[in-house]
Amino acid sequence: MNAILAVARSTFREALRDRVLVLVFAFGAIVLAMSRLLAPIALGEGPRITVDLGLSALGLVGIAIVVLVGTQLVHKEIERRTIHVVLSRPVSRSEYLIGKWAGLAATMAVAVFGMTAMLAAVGTSVLGPSIVGPIVQAAFMIACANAILAALAVLFSSLSTPVLSVAYTLGLYATGYWTNDLRTFARQLPGLGGEVLNAVSYVLPNLEVFNLRSQVAYGEGASVFHLALAMGYAGAYVAAALALAVVAFERRELK
Amino acid sequence: MSRGTAADRAANAARRKALLVFLVAAVAIGVQLAAVQLRLPAREPLGELAYYPSGTWLRQSALGEATAWADLLWLRAVQYYGEHRMVDNEFKQMAHVFEVITTLDPRFQSAYVFGGTSLCQEGRQFEAGVRLLEKAVEHNPRAWIYPFELGFVHYVGTGGNRDLTRATFEFAQAARQPEAPEFCSRFAAWSGQKAGHEGVAFELWRQVAETTDNAYMRDKAIEYLRRLVKGTGQERNLEIWAKSLRPLEGGVPEEGDAGEDDAPVEEEDPEAPRGQRVSGLPARGPTS
């Protein structure tokens, strides 16, 4: 556990050194300011646009961190051979990978919740305090979805090159929003093809579960049951992805 | 030292010449481009809206950001409406754009209400406007506002589209929904009794002007109210009432002036604008 925390801390510190969070907060602040500037031409929809675009920016910032940092996390250390220094200490490969994921998830979470605080402040000023709850719920769900993508990024980073890892992670991010459509399509497809497609749709991460953006636009949140189920799903998916990454990484020969 | 200075001067002179040549060339190219631009047919304002793909396709491609895309398209749609309102009063792409917006976000009330009424009124696309409002009812069956708007467009319907039977049915449908304001059943009754058309139309437009958050909608409503009170001696009271409405975010570019803005404001009589036109209606207006 200590080893995991040590790796996570160093990953988090490295992200801070790379000024990832500064860039993220600057981007978030610009988007929030822009959404307020757009408000006067929105004909009464200014507050809604502020919250909607703010949440979208929040989601995109999380994805950007996962893709830009996460996909080269392990590969970079293998290339620089610094991984040998880490693994020569009492740190197992599994602890190393889980620590890397935890550090990446913490970086993403700090960015998302920092921006959530900004968005909640702006949202309160335009829609009143009742919007804070839905915004926090939606941000929490965004963080859960990004934690899954971070686990997948770590999995791909430990197996492949950064370019391919970016492609795979973004591919799963896109298909993650199409799982329900894939199931509908599978139902129309006769025979084995339909069954295979249906199975694939359950293996892919269902990111629509974490999407509360359209509800927040109307000041609505999700039920506790939905939140608990989504959290459980995220936890199970992260565990599965990291387990797969550990199995693959244990067998990998590091030159 | 002096040689260096001479070299510097020569270099500066060369730089100035190059800058001058560059400026002359830039001006010449600019003039040519302007000439070409003048010969080209005028571009339709925001004509790219015609190339927007269907909302269903966009929804799949939005990757969870459908409402944000609907918001951005709403901004374009408002711009489109504003530009065409000032240029040619032709709204060819409006039905398509509002269809896309409401497919991306099937609960976008402003898009349904503004799109539906604008298509039916100044867009002269009554069928498309009604289709949009019917889509709103389909996706939001418990919301009173959409059957009310359907009743509204059928009641004030222009170009032979007035249908009191349908209007009565829709107002009654609105009145049946939870949280429906009390005036829905009143409009249903008036519409059913075929009460004086201008009076009810006045109240409907007044309702819009008082309740909308959309500056264009309010402007449109006041414009219709001006037409309705023209020649009744109530024009000044209407302007006073219009000025007393709560301010809205954003504004509509001024196209004309009522001509009475600078007139001294008399004591306000909130009942006055509707008083004489609403014949056959109860003494109290439909809104409080």
Each residue's pLDDT tens digit, B165-184: 888 889 888 988 888 888 88
Give me the percent of chain A exceeding a pLDDT of 90: 26
pLDDT value of residue B187: 80
Q: Which of A28, A38, A36 is nearest to A127 (CA)?
A: A36
Can you give the pTM of this predicted structure?
0.72
Q: Determine the distance in angstroms separating the CA of A78 from the nearest CA of chain B, rounded to an integer.
A: 33
- A108: exposed, middle or buried (C-beta count within 10 Å: 0-12, 13-18, 19+)? buried
Instruction: Check CB contact of B250 with chain A, cutoff 8 Å.
Output: yes
Partners of B249 on chain A (C-beta within 8 Å) are 39-40, 42-44, 46
Alpha helices in chain A (DSSP H): 2-17, 20-38, 46-65, 73-80, 82-87, 93-127, 132-159, 162-176, 179-188, 191-203, 213-216, 224-251
pLDDT value of residue B274: 39
Partners of A213 on chain B (C-beta within 8 Å) are 64-68
Mean pLDDT of B63-92: 85
Q: Is the pLDDT of residue A70 over 50?
A: yes
Look at B286 and B208; give whichever has higher pLDDT. Answer: B208
| B132, B138 contact by CB (below 8 A) | no
Q: What is the amino acid identity at position B238? A: L
CA distance A212 to B69: 15
Which backbone phi and psi does A251 adopt, to 5 degrees? -85, -15
Instruction: Inspect the interface and report whether the beta carbons of A41 and B114 lie closer than 8 Å.
Output: no
| B73, B103 contact by CB (below 8 A) | no
Please identify which residue in the block is written with the tokens 């008036």: B190
pLDDT range class, residue A149, cuts 50, 70, 90: very high
Q: Is the pLDDT of residue B48 over 80?
A: no
pLDDT value of residue B40: 61
Look at B37 and B186; give whichever has higher pLDDT. Answer: B186
Q: Give CA torsion, residues A37, A38, A39, A42, to 10 deg.
A: 160
| A246, A238 contact by CB (below 8 A) | no
pLDDT value of residue B276: 36
Beta strands in B7-100 (DSSP E): none
Give me the percent of chain B exceeding a pLDDT of 90: 15
Disruptive mutation site among A31, A45, A48 for chain B (greatest number of B CBs within 10 Å): A45
Q: Determine the distance in angstroms separating the CA of A153 from the nearest CA of chain B, rounded to an integer.
A: 18
Q: Is the pLDDT of residue B282 over 50?
A: no
| B187, B201 contact by CB (below 8 A) | no
Instruction: Check CB contact of B32 with chain A, cutoff 8 Å.
Output: no
CA distance A160 to A73: 11
Mean pLDDT of B104-130: 90
Q: Which of A42-46, A133-137, A220-224, B52-56 has the lowest average pLDDT?
A: B52-56
| A7, A90 contact by CB (below 8 A) | no
Give me the percent of chain B exceeding a pLDDT of 70: 76
Q: What is the pLDDT of residues B225-244, one digit of tens each?
A: 888 888 887 888 888 888 88
Q: What is the pLDDT of residues A164-217, one digit of tens each?
A: 888 999 999 999 988 888 888 888 888 888 899 999 999 999 999 999 988 888
pLDDT range class, residue B252, cuts 50, 70, 90: low
pLDDT value of residue A12: 86
Instruction: Inspect the interface and report whether the beta carbons of B64 and A42 lie closer than 8 Å.
Output: no
Six-digit token pair at A66? Answer: 């996962």
CA distance A27 to B38: 40
CA distance B64 to B71: 14
Q: Is the pLDDT of residue B283 over 80?
A: no
pLDDT value of residue B262: 38
Triad A221, A223, A226: Cα angle to 5°: 110
Give me the percent of chain A exceeding a pLDDT of 70: 99
pLDDT value of residue A22: 79
Instruction: Check CB contact of A53 with chain B, cutoff 8 Å.
Output: yes
pLDDT value of residue B197: 66
Instruction: Select, from the ranges A241-250, B55-64, B175-184, the one with the highest average predicted confidence (pLDDT).
Output: A241-250
pLDDT range class, residue B55, cuts 50, 70, 90: low
ipTM comes to 0.82
pLDDT value of residue A242: 93
Cβ atoms within 10 A of the Cβ of B144, count?
19
Instruction: Select, from the ranges A27-31, B97-101, B120-124, the one with the highest average predicted confidence (pLDDT).
Output: B97-101
